[in-house]
Amino acid sequence: MTEQTTGAPAGTEPAEPAPVPQTPEPLPAPAPSRKPPRRVLRAVARWTVAAVVLGGLGAGTAFGITSMERTDVPGLATESDGRWDYPQLSLPALPAGSPRPYSDGNVAEIHHADLRRLLLPAPVGATVDKKLDGGWVSTEQYLSEYAKDSRSDVAQTLKDAAPRHVAARGWTMPDGTSTRIYLVQFNSTAFAQHFMDSTSGSGSEVPLVGAPETVLDEGWSGAGKVPGTSSYVYDEAKPYGEARVRQGYVVAGDTLALVVQSRKGKESTPGVPFHQTVILQNQLLG
């Protein structure tokens, strides 16, 4: 190891006496470097990348969950409440320049769309009634839903109201629940409401086939009703006959809807899909 020396370099003649050597002040110790060791940097980099990747995965998962239906997420599926699986609904196109029934430009609340396109489609798994396939039907077909001893009176009321069209769709679900929906379009809202008042809106409901006596449906809350429309929902009074019959009317402008559901056997006609059907048909008429 090389030794350190002090004093003037050898072979040099000082012009003056050499000053008394002084002990130099020690230099301050170098400040510790602020740069972490390379391996620390590498570790930090690895953890940073991992955090970014995990954060990205977490964000993607959150987005996926919020964009999925609750029943599509494992562990968050809820038990079915009995609702039927209907196709995605959409309002039909209107003739050029024609407003929807409850728009500002349609004071008379007339449905300009094809009435058949306003019928609720059958849910998934249903067997469609070939007689009620979503097309036009006669007034006699509509009147066949009413009890025979009251049918003549309803027929006269219907004739006086002069309906323009009647469209209908029916189906049966795997559990045996039968559904029939009729849309009756009149020449004005006044005729539609008059027919409603004559058959069911005055407290003296005209009985349907299989339901000689009806009562208000206590489970009906009126949820989902389109503003400006009216709904009247009834249940068959106990004791039920061969099949428990539920019925609901909706008055929407110039059109009246009748929804009938029944199921034979000891199990009663479920209320949830019935209410669901009335609500969805109401929304299509809005």
| DSSP states of 218-231 | TT---TTPPTT-EE
What pLDDT is stored for residue 203 in this prediction?
59
**Intra-chain end-to-end CA distance of the chain, in Å:** 101
Query: For the residues 234-253, what does the mean pLDDT come to?
Result: 94
Backbone dihedral angles phi then psi of residue 47, each to the nearest 5 degrees: -65, -35
Q: Residue 119: which of 133, 132, 134, 97 has the closest Cα? A: 134
pLDDT at 19 over 70: no
| Two tokens, residue 16 | 């003056």
Q: Count Cβ neighbours within 10 Å for each residue of 253-274 and write b for 16 or more, e otherwise.
A: bbbbbbbbbbbeeeeebbbebb
Which of the four pLDDT bands, split at 50, 70 and 90, describes residue 222? confident
pTM beyond 0.85: the answer is no
pLDDT at 79 over 70: no
Q: How many CA atoms lie within 13 A of 258 on its CB side?
A: 24
Contacts of 13 (CB under 8 A, 6+ apart): none
| Centroid of chain to Cα 192 | 29
Q: Under CATH, to which class is 118-284 assigned?
A: alpha beta
What pLDDT is stored for residue 191 in this prediction?
96
Tell me what the pLDDT averaged over the chain comes to: 78
Dihedral sign for Cα atoms in the order 206, 210, 213, 214? negative
pLDDT at 205 over 70: yes
For the purposes of burial, counting CB atoms within 10 Å of the CB of 102, is it exposed (0-12), middle (13-18) or buried (19 or more)?
A: middle
Residue pair 20/6 in contact (Cβ under 8 Å)? The answer is: no
* Domain range list for the chain: 118-284
What pLDDT is stored for residue 202 in this prediction?
57
Place of tokens 């059907």: 277
